[in-house]
């Protein structure tokens, strides 16, 4: 699951508005979908996830937080994106090796001013994301690495423990 | 000014609600105040700042973002906090060397469940903050170090540039 | 065990010379002692460690690397430092809660120009170390936080994994 | 100039031996060359640098540190590498856009067990380095990101200031 601090920064990069249609591709446990659904309270979030077990977790999470505006789509992107309403904002948390095609399709479907936010924890995702959003001429491309360390109590002491770093690639459709 | 990513995480740690009374102590340019005012849209934000020039910047910022629910208080904490309504959420971005006293007064005024979020960029602030919130028996104390690197375009390349790390100390009044 | 990159930076802060007498207080598995012994090849390293099991590991490590100039001292500092020859360079990797006293004694025994290098993974060690070396008027005090992320291969991808951050406090006896 | 901590880790990744022939490609101010020359005291370091002003700085630095075993080569790699003796260890600190060719030539010239260590401060260098050393089947490939923050004294406080992160790619010729 995306850790709280990275999730917060990721959501901020999307600049969600109340009525937004949101795609959360590779939704994992749905932590981004739930928070996006709260922010786009009058909009709709589509959580796309290919792993059956994760789909169950997303449903549990949306039930738990009472977010009625999340639709869970079980399938692999980009195929699973067919037939979804055009998005205003798109998160990519996982791509199953199809990142280039996913970004291509997102680029086609996003309106001008629409925003794409990709999380990368592996170098190859970072590289492909940057190359593809650059080639497709997204604007305001930002690459942000977020590294978080939090303390854990060990006796009476506070020990710093690092989370793994995450790269956030964001951009806006021209 | 607090950079966007750190500001976002700082605000998230406060868990702002729509009607909250917020104190932003050492408000600087008012970037936290403005975002807090947007989140606590039916609440009220008190931006406390001792530097006259910064006070002007806060006013410019609140005008620019149209946040009508920010009251700017020119003065030094803790003295300048006298007479303010009791807060639900308190940010400390600067303390002018009075951090211990400020936290003490905040602890007195916060209701049960009220939250305190402190940003520290120097070691001594980190140390004093942790010691004081621990001594005053705040609960759910978290110490989070956020390190952000963003790329700048250099020719056709993306060069990673670090922001200075910020420690965020947060806790809840028992 | 101190990870390779932090160990390397820690050793560099000590500026070891060939004939140095080195104390490695809280030697743990002896990874610093072994490398110090290689650098101070004509000197002598005293590895002080209170944990019996760790003492065994140090001995295994010095055997394995053939470093004949490491003396392992089983005991707690500062008491275990009595009777050791005066050091030129001192590492503190663990202090068993006696950091202030240990630094005090090290300060007494170090000659002018002697160097002290402390590793801190908890906030309280960092704070106490900085306060004590400052109070004792060490010069050229440096506080260096080293954060390392290394990739692990996951399929054909390189995933970034963070090590926990370490603070290195170093200074020179006036 | 490479900062001390990154330089130290970079040098450690090369595992220099006393008699090594070292190439320092894109030597910049020569800080790696000087330290490599001290470590490979009975070997020879070739500092390759295309910028005339930097070449002057390297010469000043080698004079200052009295390292008689550094040969400064003014020119662009890979062309400037022609005619140099085969290296045991190679550093790449700058590549002038020819990284792929440089690594290719280094791979040809390195003996089995020879080591290559590349510093990357831009994403594209990181990506190209990883792709090329992987394609050429180097072994023990490591990708290490080093992030350092050091304190600066501000009044009586210690403020954390970040250095920009550096990626170190290292591997061994099979």
Q: Does A118 contact chain D (CB < 8 Å)?
A: no
Q: Which chains touch A (3 or more CB pairs under 8 A)?
A: B, C, D
User: Does residue A35 have a pLDDT over 90?
Assistant: yes
Quickly state the pLDDT bin for A1 (edges 50, 70, 90): confident
User: Does residue A67 have a pLDDT over 80?
Assistant: yes
Compute the nearest-CA separation of D93 from chain B (Å). 14
Quote the percentage of chain C above a pLDDT of 70: 100
- Please write the tens of the pLDDT for every residue from A71-124: 999 999 999 999 999 999 999 999 999 999 999 999 999 999 999 999 999 999
Predicted pLDDT of residue A156: 86
The verdict on ipTM greater than 0.90 is yes
> How many CA atoms does the CB half-sphere of D144 hold within 13 Å?
27
Which residues in chain A touch residue D165, judged by CB atoms under 8 angstroms apart?
145
Q: Note whether C82 and C60 are within 8 A (CB).
A: no
Q: Note whether B55 and B30 are within 8 A (CB).
A: no
Residue D92 CA, chain-centre distance (Å), reads 4
Which residues in chain D touch residue C149, judged by CB atoms under 8 angstroms apart?
144-145, 147
Q: Does C5 contact chain D (CB < 8 Å)?
A: yes
- Chain C residue at shortest CA distance from B131: C124
Which of B5, B130, B150 is closest, CB to CB, to A143?
A: B150
In order of C30, C33, C52, C118, the CA distances from C71 in angstroms are 11, 9, 15, 20
pLDDT, chain C, mean: 96
Which residues in chain A touch residue B148, judged by CB atoms under 8 angstroms apart?
144-147
Helix (H) or strand (E) holding C81: none
Give the start-end residues of each E strand in C26-138.
44-49, 70-74, 89-92, 115-120
Q: Note whether C6 and C119 are within 8 A (CB).
A: yes
Per this entry, what is the length of chain A?
174
Would you put residue A165 in left (φ > 0), alpha (ψ -120 to 50) or beta? beta
Q: Does D146 contact chain C (CB < 8 Å)?
A: yes
Rounded Cα distance between B36 and B17, Å, is 9
Q: Note whether A64 and A36 are within 8 A (CB).
A: no
> How many CA atoms does the CB half-sphere of C97 hold within 13 Å?
4
Largest CA distance in chain C: 56
Of D64, D3, D72, D6, the C-alpha closest to D33 is D72
Q: Is A85 helix (H, G, I), strand (E, B) or coil?
A: coil
Residues 6 or more apart from A161 whose CB is under 8 A from it? Answer: A149, A150, A151, A152, C164
Rounded Cα distance between D11 and D6, Å, is 9
Those residues of chain B that have pLDDT short of 70 are none
User: Does residue D97 have a pLDDT over 80?
Assistant: yes
Annotated domain spans of chain C:
4-172
Rounded Cα distance between D127 and D123, Å, is 6
- Please write the tens of the pLDDT for every residue from C45-60: 999 999 999 999 999 9
Which residues in chain B touch residue A144, judged by CB atoms under 8 angstroms apart?
5, 148-150
Q: Do D145 and A126 touch (CB under 8 A)?
A: no
In order of B25, B70, B78, D159, the CA distances from B74 in angstroms are 11, 13, 12, 26
Residues 6 or more apart from C34 whose CB is under 8 A from it? Answer: C61, C62, C65, C67, C70
Q: Note whether D107 and C115 are within 8 A (CB).
A: no
pLDDT, chain D, mean: 97
**B48's tokens:** 């406390």
Which residues in chain B touch residue C123, judged by CB atoms under 8 angstroms apart?
126-127, 130, 143
For the beta carbon of residue B112, count every other beta carbon within 10 angstroms.
8
Rg (CA), chain A: 16
User: Does residue C1 have a pLDDT over 90?
Assistant: no
Helix (H) or strand (E) holding A155: none
Compute the nearest-CA separation of A123 from chain B (Å). 14
Compute the nearest-CA separation of D138 from chain A (Å). 18
Predicted pLDDT of residue D1: 72
Decide the pairing of beta strands C21-25 and A157-162: unpaired
Q: How many CB pairs under 8 A join C and D?
A: 52
- Please write the tens of the pLDDT for every residue from D140-161: 999 999 999 999 999 889 999 9
Rounded Cα distance between D51 and D34, Å, is 18
Q: Does C164 contact chain A (CB < 8 Å)?
A: yes
- Chain B residue at shortest CA distance from C127: B127
Q: Do C144 and D147 touch (CB under 8 A)?
A: no
The residue with tokens 């990709």 is A118
For the beta carbon of residue B79, count every other beta carbon within 10 angstroms.
12
Rounded Cα distance between A103 and A89, Å, is 12
Rounded Cα distance between B134 and D136, Å, is 55
Average of per-residue pLDDT across C64-89: 96
Average of per-residue pLDDT across C28-37: 97
Of B150, A123, A131, the C-alpha closest to D131 is A123
Q: Note whether B15 and B40 are within 8 A (CB).
A: no
Q: Note whether B160 and D121 are within 8 A (CB).
A: yes
**A18's tokens:** 């109340």
Average of per-residue pLDDT across A27-41: 97
Cis peptide before C44 (omega within 30 of 0): no
Pick the residue of B41, B135, B142, B147 with the most A CBs within 10 A to test the interface with A by mutation: B147
Residues 6 or more apart from B53 whose CB is under 8 A from it? Answer: none
Q: Do B8 and A4 touch (CB under 8 A)?
A: no
**C8's tokens:** 């390397």
Task: Decide which of 3.90.700.10, 3.40.50.150, 3.30.70.20, 2.60.320.10 is the CATH code for B4-172.
Answer: 3.40.50.150
DSSP secondary structure, chain B, as one string: ---HHHHHHHHHHHT--TT-EEEEET-TTSHHHHHHHHHTTTSEEEEEE--HHHHHHHHHHHHHHT-TTEEEEES-TTGGGTTPPPPSEEEES--TT-HHHHHHHHHHHSPTT-EEEEEESBHHHHHHHHHHHHHTT-EEEEEEEEEEEEEEEETTEEEEEEPPPEEEEEEE--
Rounded Cα distance between A1 and A7, Å, is 9
Q: Does A162 contact chain C (CB < 8 Å)?
A: yes
């Amino acid at each position: 699951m995306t850790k709280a601090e990275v999730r917060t920064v990721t959501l901020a990069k999307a600049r969600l508005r109340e009525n937004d249609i949101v795609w959360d591709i590779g939704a994992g446990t749905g932590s981004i979908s739930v928070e996006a659904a709260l922010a786009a309270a009058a909009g709709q979030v589509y959580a796309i996830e290919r792993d059956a077990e994760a789909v169950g977790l997303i449903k549990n999470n949306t039930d738990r937080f009472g977010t009625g505006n999340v639709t869970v789509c079980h399938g692999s992107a980009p195929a699973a994106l067919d037939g979804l309403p055009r998005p205003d904002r798109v998160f990519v948390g996982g791509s199953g090796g199809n990142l280039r095609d996913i970004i291509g399709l997102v680029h086609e479907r996003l309106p001008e001013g629409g925003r794409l936010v990709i999380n990368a924890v592996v170098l190859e995702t970072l590289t492909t994301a940057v190359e593809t959003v650059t080639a497709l001429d997204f604007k305001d491309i930002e690459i942000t690495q977020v590294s978080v360390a939090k303390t854990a109590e060990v006796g009476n002491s506070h020990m710093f423990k690092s989370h793994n770093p995450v790269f956030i690639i964001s951009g806006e459709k021209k």
